[in-house]
């Protein structure tokens, strides 16, 4: 599908703050339909400039009755009617449609949270050919409920408690779901989204990573002048490597990659990564040892947000210094910095997915988003900022990045600083964690389950516990093992290891790593936890 066809089939999500909003984006892209998420209160000019075929109003934590509750822009209703844009409201989005079109929303007498059954009332529209009376399990999360629908609307499904579960007005092209079809707990949610987009709205599938590659090469070519040089921050991870390979394809030898050893890398990471860059990827890379610079600034710092910001600032200092040296060498001052920032990085760093958002919480400041200094001299190129991790891997295949490299588990830019609780320079925490992590990851590889796990790593806790080793009392740090399965990093479940595997790994760590007398397993999903510890 060409770029123009992709744009004319755009599904635009207006984000009103739900923790599930970006799953909507991901689910729609999995259907080969391009979707974008922007602030729910974005101006009408922003929306019209994108010319969407379908607009989805997300859920959110607010009540439509609350003071300053977020709402779509003035003129929105007229715009979608005049341009025959299909609108689907999900949870808060449904309530917003009902309220703004003259219906009534009240605080529910029976609030609905978690898995619930709904029953189909109409055979058309959102539920296709499903028969009246058919039931399905969905995920509810709301306190308010629609009690009177606007003129022309009808109920097409209801909860077993009698609440409105789905509505539609075919003539106006307005539809609403009181539940979240985007989460896996809604067992037929993907069927409903697929039917709505293809059968109700007439959207055409065809968006692929080839479209992304073509578009990004065009953007880079237009942004970077023919004589300009660009620096790329290579971490050794999948994201920055794919970003570097893409930009290298666009501008060739005017790209200068920098791999920074910040003293927070995994066991032998520097040697392994540099060998891969040189032998397999053939990228021009300069390795800079900035261990002392980073660790001296992190000494005594315990707050995880402060650690991230310090690391982000020091990275930029390194790149500025490299840029100055490069200017002396090639006679041109580099003006751009390439980073492998992903969509989830922006989402979690706030204000995601753009500026001005006020109705969601910052989860963490990614070192290459929220951690960047305001006075940085280099302008950013972030060719992957609208992609999820699995999409980046797909793009990497097209760019001929070795599959073995693309399958590497994610490693955070701030490195082990976010896997060591408290001061990273305290005691022997870094070396202890490196050794424990290496044992864990190697055991996973040996067991043949590395590719079945999204991300696995060890964590060093800033507490001590009493143990008995060699018939002597010890007072040492526990190590936590973390391994999760996921598709895009936005949600995750813990990986169910076999007991024997865990027993063997724990024994190897206890017997092979000084200063450790306990090994624990993290069995928390995301949410409520994040994948990383901090």
Feature table: binding site for ATP: 235-241
SS3 assignment, position 74: coil
Residue 91 bears catalytic tag: yes
As given in the structure block, the two tokens for residue 197 are: 């987009």
Residue 282 bears catalytic tag: no
Closest listed residue to residue 396, CA positions, set 187, 116, 209: 209
**Size of the chain, expressed as the number of residues it contains:** 534
**CA separation for the pair 404, 430 (Å, rounded):** 27
Contact at 8 Å (CB) between 423 and 301? yes
**Cα 225 to chain center, whole Å?**
31
Angle at the Cα of 394 from the Cα atoms of 392 and 400, rounded to 5 degrees: 100
Give the dihedral sign, CA 133/137/138/141: positive
H/E element, 137: strand 135-148
Task: Give the CA distances from residue 204 to residues 195, 213, 229, in Å, rounded to whole numbers and listed in that order.
Answer: 12, 20, 39
Closest listed residue to residue 155, CA positions, set 127, 117, 113: 127
Backbone angles phi and psi of 467, in degrees to 5? -140, 175
Contact at 8 Å (CB) between 51 and 8? yes
As given in the structure block, the two tokens for residue 401 are: 């990045």
Contact at 8 Å (CB) between 126 and 166? yes
Cis link prior to 351 (omega < 30° from 0)? yes
* b (16+ CB within 10 A) / e for 55-79: bbbbbbbbbbeeeebbbbbeebbeb
Residue entry with tokens 């949870």: 91
**CA separation for the pair 509, 517 (Å, rounded):** 9
H/E element, 144: strand 135-148
**CA separation for the pair 383, 241 (Å, rounded):** 12
Residues 6+ apart with CB under 8 A from 99: 64, 105
- 466 DSSP β-pair partners: 475
Among residues 112, 145, 182, 348, the one annotated as catalytic is 182
Read off the DSSP letter of residue 284: -
Among residues 22, 62, 142, 180, the one annotated as catalytic is 180
Where helices occur in 331-452 by DSSP H, the ranges are: 343-349, 389-398, 403-406, 429-446
Backbone angles phi and psi of 183, in degrees to 5? -90, 150
Binding-site positions read 235-241
**CA separation for the pair 295, 46 (Å, rounded):** 43
Please identify every residue annotated as catalytic.
91, 180, 182
């Amino acid at each position: 599908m060409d770029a123009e066809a992709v744009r004319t089939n755009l599904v635009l999500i207006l984000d009103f703050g739900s923790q599930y909003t970006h799953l909507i984006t991901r689910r729609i892209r999995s259907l080969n339909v391009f979707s974008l998420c922007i602030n729910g209160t974005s101006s009408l000019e922003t929306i019209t400039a994108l010319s969407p075929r379908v607009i989805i109003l997300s859920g959110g934590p607010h009540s439509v009755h609350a003071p300053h509750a977020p709402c779509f822009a003035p003129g929105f209703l007229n715009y979608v009617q005049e341009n025959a844009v299909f609108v689907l409201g999900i949870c808060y989005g449904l309530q917003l449609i009902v309220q703004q079109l003259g219906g009534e929303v009240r605080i529910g007498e029976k609030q609905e949270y978690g898995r619930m059954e709904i029953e189909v009332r109409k055979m058309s529209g959102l539920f296709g050919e499903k028969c009246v009376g058919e039931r399905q399990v969905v995920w509810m999360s709301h306190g308010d409920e629609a009690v009177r629908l606007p003129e022309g609307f009808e109920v097409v499904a209801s909860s077993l408690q009698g609440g409105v579960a789905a509505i539609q007005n075919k003539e106006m092209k307005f539809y609403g779901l009181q539940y979240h079809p985007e989460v896996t707990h809604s067992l037929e949610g993907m069927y409903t989204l697929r039917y709505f987009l293809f059968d109700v709205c007439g959207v055409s599938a065809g968006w692929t990573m080839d479209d992304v590659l073509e578009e990004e090469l065009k953007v880079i070519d237009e942004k970077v002048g023919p004589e300009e040089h660009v620096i790329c921050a290579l971490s050794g991870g999948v994201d920055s490597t794919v970003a570097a390979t893409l930009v290298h394809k666009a501008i060739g030898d005017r790209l200068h990659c920098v791999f920074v050893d910040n003293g927070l890398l995994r066991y032998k990471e520097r040697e392994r990564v540099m060998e891969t860059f040189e032998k397999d990827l053939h990228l021009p890379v300069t390795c800079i040892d900035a261990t002392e610079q980073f660790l001296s600034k992190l000494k005594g710092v315990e707050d995880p947000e402060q650690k991230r910001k310090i690391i982000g600032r020091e990275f930029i200092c390194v790149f500025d210094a490299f840029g100055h040296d490069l200017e002396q060498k090639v006679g041109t001052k580099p003006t751009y910095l390439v980073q492998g920032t992903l969509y989830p990085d922006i989402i979690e760093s706030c204000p995601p997915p753009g500026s001005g958002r006020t109705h969601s919480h910052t989860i963490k400041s990614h070192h290459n988003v929220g951690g960047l200094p305001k006075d940085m001299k280099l302008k950013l190129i972030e060719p992957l900022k609208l992609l999820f991790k699995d999409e980046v891997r797909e793009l990497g295949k097209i760019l001929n990045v070795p599959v073995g490299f693309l399958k590497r588990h994610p490693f955070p830019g701030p490195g082990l600083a976010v896997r060591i609780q408290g001061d990273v320079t305290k005691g022997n925490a870094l070396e202890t964690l490196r050794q424990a992590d290496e044992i864990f990851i190697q055991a996973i590889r040996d067991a043949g389950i590395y590719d079945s796990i999204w991300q696995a790593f060890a964590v060093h806790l800033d507490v001590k516990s009493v143990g008995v080793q060699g018939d002597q009392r010890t007072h040492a740090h526990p190590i936590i093992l973390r391994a999760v399965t996921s598709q895009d990093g936005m949600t995750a479940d813990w990986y169910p290891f076999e007991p024997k595997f865990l027993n063997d790994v724990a024994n190897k760590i206890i017997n092979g790593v000084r200063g450790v007398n306990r090994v624990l397993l993290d069995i928390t999903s995301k949410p409520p936890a994040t994948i990383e510890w901090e």
